[in-house]
């Protein structure tokens, strides 16, 4: 929403005042409070006894004559206690053509803040890719996010919003690790001469302006020794405020009077209450603001009087405050017309106030209506009216705010690449899951109402029901049925001693595949899930699979006429072909489903950041094992026995087909579901075992598709899928 001009200036003034008041004052006397000209405010400290805990210990070092502040290995630009942020420097990754040797070389940068109290700020940073025909990605702990930058149109200086010469993508919340890498899909031979380098980095959005010289010279890389500024949010510990208050092993950090606790992506932090400023982490750190000394931020035309945490503004005797100005009160001079005049005055004030309130409400209403229209709400509304008996509701913003307790941090069920999911309770007592998306682009906004209409008609016993949506906000929200018994991921990765029979696993796989097959076939163009993974398969009371989060597909437009320039997905599940072509297809879901099958067979994680590079992705480990005929080595011991082996090999073969590099060679999800169904039936009728002909009949064709000759480009693309395309 637009803020009027004056308050913005006031805000800026306040920020300046706050920064000035942010004078470091560590707990022990004698603690250094600066490093060069960088302030080191408590809870940060240069010595062990000066920092709140070991994670907040920073390091002042002189490098080549200059004094620099380091946190771990990262250089610090600035700390802010009021904002709970830190500005650090991160490294740029590049892919360059070396004319002398006629080869492409890479400098791949990564950043691991796992042992520091930070997460990358999702609001202030972006993934920035520079180059002509540059396809680059950021691999984080969980997500792969990338975009495509081309030079098909004339280059212009300025912002990065047109994907010409540079492109940008949003970060998910809570990122603590990232690695930049390139996809060498395009033949760039023809353009190396003009633009020798491509770059990818994660950096502070406000600090970036695109310049054409970044492509033709080395200035972007060399300006600050191959680094860019990045904004971090910090938290004292990774607990929530509520957890921190009751934890007896670690002292609660918000020790100052008049301080509050704030939940953030990095954990909890403290702030001074309204009307106070200073350092909430030290005793009496939050001091009352004397508003009367600052008549710019706190204008008062009359007599200003400071109070604790606030101030009063009154008029001298004989004057009244009208619209912030003291005017002569005529009551004392003329007795007679007093009553009439004051009644008139009161009426006037009430009138003005009411008019103002009505105007403000109208304005708010207009904003809501605008969003509602933008998101195709009218169309949806008309259709809803004409279709009786559709259990789909258009929620108001207030309803969802109430249901989720104003989107409280404690209500968060999970963060996804596309947004955050909250638990909510509607007025009727129904428990729901509310999904608040991060951002969507203009095209998607227009399509939203129509998409909702399609999604609202989805009705399948293995799909989580979409109950409604809210359109009157800038980024629409989706409301789903709440499934209480956890995810398939929890089942597989939770208690390892818990026995899960092959039968159960096969049924969950079959049900999930059926659900996806329904999505792919129930509408035209097909509804693509776009983010199939074990955490998106929820389980009902009796372990019935319920596929959730299919709304993600509408956030990744698959309209071919509009070229998609941002790719995002979950590490370990993302279709490598989609990463190369930027085209999400039904076979992308098949690929991801293949990985879910592997999880069911092996009970291993789809992606493991720790461990040797060749073992990071489960699909990679599996393909290698299949090639070397060592399938048995990776199967889960619980289901690995002589009786099951035949079925396990069948499922493994099915998974292998799903993981084919080329989408056309993968089976359709319907074929996968049918195959799983046949396997289930065979398992349930052991008599078929003794009769080989019956077994053949039930199993059908041994292989769903012909998959010969498709492993040629495997090593390159799967490397890319894992984020290892680095030329190291
Ligand atoms: C401080 O920085 C120096 C130089 O980078 C390093 O040798 C030293 O180990 C660091 N100390 C701590 C506590 O991080
Ligand atoms: C962009 O700005 C740079 C200087 O910062 C200038 O050399 C270049 O010509 C400008 N490019 C365009 C297209 O205006
Ligand atoms: C890339 O394009 C150039 C001509 O522009 C061609 O000579 C070269 O063989 C191509 N490289 C590949 C790998 O296709
Ligand atoms: C980006 O450009 C705007 C307008 O040209 C300018 O005000 C701003 O300071 C620039 N920012 C950076 C980081 O160069
Ligand atoms: C309490 O705090 C300590 C230190 O930060 C942490 O290791 C521990 O997990 C916390 N306990 C609980 C119950 O959150
Ligand atoms: C200060 O007082 C005004 C008027 O009484 C009130 O509206 C405002 O909420 C108060 N501010 C704080 C921080 O208590
Ligand atoms: C603020 O106070 C200063 C000094 O008391 C005065 O000169 C100035 O005119 C005041 N400004 C406003 C906007 O009241």
**pLDDT tens for residues 365-393?**
766 666 666 666 666 666 665 665 556 88
pLDDT score for 133? 82
Ligand 2 atom nearest the C-alpha of 211 is 1
Ligand 3 atom nearest the C-alpha of 187 is 1
Taken as a whole, the chain contains a residue count of: 728
Read off the pLDDT band of 300 (50, 70, 90): confident
Read off the pLDDT band of 8 (50, 70, 90): very low
Confidence check: pLDDT of 132 > 50: yes
Q: Among 3.40.50.1860, 3.90.1150.10, 3.30.200.20, 3.40.190.10, what is the CATH number of 377-481?
A: 3.30.200.20
Cα-to-centroid distance, 299 and ligand 7 (Å): 9
Cα-to-centroid distance, 166 and ligand 2 (Å): 15
Confidence check: pLDDT of 676 > 90: yes
Instruction: Tell me the average pLDDT across 244-262.
Output: 90
Give, using CA atoms, the residue closest to atom 13 of ligand 1.
59
C-alpha dihedral (223, 227, 228, 233), degrees to nearest 10: -150
Three-state secondary-structure class, residue 600: helix
Give, using CA atoms, the residue closest to atom 2 of ligand 7.
295
Per the annotation, the verdict on 141 as an active-site residue is: no
616 labelled binding-site residue: no
Q: Which ligand gives the minimal distance to the CA of 46?
A: 1
Q: Using a 6 Å CB cutoff, which residues line ligand 1?
A: 59, 61, 70
| ω into 705 cis (within 30 of 0) | no
Confidence check: pLDDT of 453 > 70: yes
Read off the pLDDT band of 349 (50, 70, 90): low
Asked whether this chain's domains 377-481 and 488-726 adopt the same fold, the reply is no
pLDDT score for 200? 94
DSSP code of 265?
A: T
CB 56 within 8 A of CB 43: yes
Taking the C-alpha atoms of residue 215 and residue 203, their distance in angstroms, rounded to an integer, is 17
Q: Where are the domains of the chain?
A: 17-82+237-288, 85-234, 377-481, 488-726
Q: Using a 6 Å CB cutoff, which residues line ligand 4?
A: 207, 209
Read off the pLDDT band of 656 (50, 70, 90): very high
364 vs 675, higher pLDDT? 675
Give the active site residue among 263, 265, 531, 589.
Answer: 531
Q: Give whole-number Cα distances, 210 to 128, 213, 214, 294, 725, in Å.
A: 10, 9, 7, 38, 26
Q: Among 3.40.50.620, 1.10.10.10, 1.10.510.10, 3.10.105.10, what is the CATH number of 488-726?
A: 1.10.510.10
């Amino acid at each position: 929403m637009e803020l009027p001009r004056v308050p913005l200036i006031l805000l800026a003034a306040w920020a300046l005042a706050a920064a000035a008041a942010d004078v470091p004052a560590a707990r022990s006397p004698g603690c250094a409070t600066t490093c060069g000209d960088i302030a080191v405010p408590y809870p940060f400290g240069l010595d062990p006894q000066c920092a709140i805990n070991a994670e907040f210990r920073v390091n002042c070092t002189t490098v080549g004559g200059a004094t620099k502040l380091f946190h771990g290995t990262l250089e610090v630009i600035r700390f802010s206690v009021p904002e709970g942020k830190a500005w650090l420097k991160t490294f740029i990754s590049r892919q360059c053509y070396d004319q002398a040797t006629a080869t492409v070389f890479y400098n791949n940068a990564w950043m691991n803040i796992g042992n520091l109290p930070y997460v990358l700020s999702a609001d202030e940073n972006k993934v920035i890719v520079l180059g002509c025909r540059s396809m680059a990605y950021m691999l984080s702990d969980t997500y792969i996010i990338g975009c495509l930058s081309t030079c098909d149109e004339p280059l212009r200086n300025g912002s990065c919003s047109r994907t010409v010469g540079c492109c940008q993508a949003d970060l998910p919340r809570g990122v603590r690790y990232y690695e930049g890498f390139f996809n060498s899909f395009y033949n760039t031979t023809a353009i190396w001469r003009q633009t020798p380098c491509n770059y990818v980095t994660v950096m502070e959005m406000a600090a970036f302006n695109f310049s054409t010289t970044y492509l033709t010279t080395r200035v972007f890389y060399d300006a600050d020794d191959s680094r860019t500024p990045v904004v971090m949010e910090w938290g004292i510990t990774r607990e929530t405020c509520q957890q921190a208050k009751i934890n007896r092993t670690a002292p609660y950090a918000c020790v100052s009077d008049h301080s509050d606790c704030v939940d953030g992506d990095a954990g909890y932090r403290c702030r001074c209450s309204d009307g106070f400023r200073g350092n909430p982490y030290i005793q009496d750190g939050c001091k009352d603001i004397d508003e009367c000394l600052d008549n710019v931020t706190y204008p008062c035309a009359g007599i200003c009087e400071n109070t604790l945490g606030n101030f009063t503004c009154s008029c001298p005797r004989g004057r009244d405050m009208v619209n912030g100005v003291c005017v002569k009160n005529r009551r004392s001079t003329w007795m007679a017309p007093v009553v009439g005049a004051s009644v008139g005055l009161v009426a006037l004030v009430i009138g003005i106030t009411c008019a103002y309130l009505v105007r403000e409400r109208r304005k708010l209403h207009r904003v809501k209506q605008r969003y509602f229209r933008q998101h195709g709400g009218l169309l949806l509304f008309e259709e809803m009216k004409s279709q009786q008996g559709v259990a789909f509701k258009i929620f108001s913003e207030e309803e969802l705010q109430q249901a989720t307790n104003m989107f409280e941090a404690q209500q968060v069920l999970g963060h996804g690449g596309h947004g955050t999911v909250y638990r909510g309770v509607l007025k009727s007592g129904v428990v729901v899951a509310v999904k608040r998306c991060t951002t969507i682009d203009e095209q998607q906004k227009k399509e939203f109402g129509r998409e909702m209409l399609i999604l609202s008609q989805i009705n399948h016993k293995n799909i989580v029901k979409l109950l409604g949506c809210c359109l009157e906000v800038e980024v629409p929200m989706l409301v789903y049925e709440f499934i209480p018994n956890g995810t398939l991921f929890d089942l597989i990765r939770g208690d390892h001693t818990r026995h899960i029979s092959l039968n159960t696993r096969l049924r969950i796989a079959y049900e999930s595949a059926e659900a996806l097959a329904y999505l792919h076939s129930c509408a035209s163009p097909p509804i693509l899930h776009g983010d199939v993974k074990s955490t998106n398969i929820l389980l009902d009371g009796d372990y019935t699979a319920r596929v959730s989060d299919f709304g993600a597909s509408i956030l990744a437009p698959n309209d071919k006429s509009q070229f998609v320039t941002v790719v995002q997905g979950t590490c370990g599940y993302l279709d490598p072909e989609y990463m190369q072509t930027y085209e999400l297809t039904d076979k992308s879901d098949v690929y991801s489903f293949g990985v879910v099958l592997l999880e069911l067979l092996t009970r291993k994680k789809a992606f493991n950041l720790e461990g040797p590079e060749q073992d990071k992705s489960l699909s990679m480990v599996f393909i290698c094992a299949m090639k070397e005929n060592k399938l048995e080595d990776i199967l889960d011991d619980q289901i690995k026995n002589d009786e099951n082996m035949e079925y396990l090999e069948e499922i493994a073969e099915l998974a292998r087909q799903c993981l084919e590099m080329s989408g056309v060679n993968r089976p359709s999800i319907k074929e996968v579901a049918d195959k799983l169904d046949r396997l289930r039936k065979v398992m349930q009728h052991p008599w078929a075992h003794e009769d080989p002909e019956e077994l053949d009949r039930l199993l059908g064709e041994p292989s769903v598709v012909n998959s010969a000759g498709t492993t040629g480009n495997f090593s390159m693309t799967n490397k890319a899928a894992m984020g290892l395309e680095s030329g190291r």
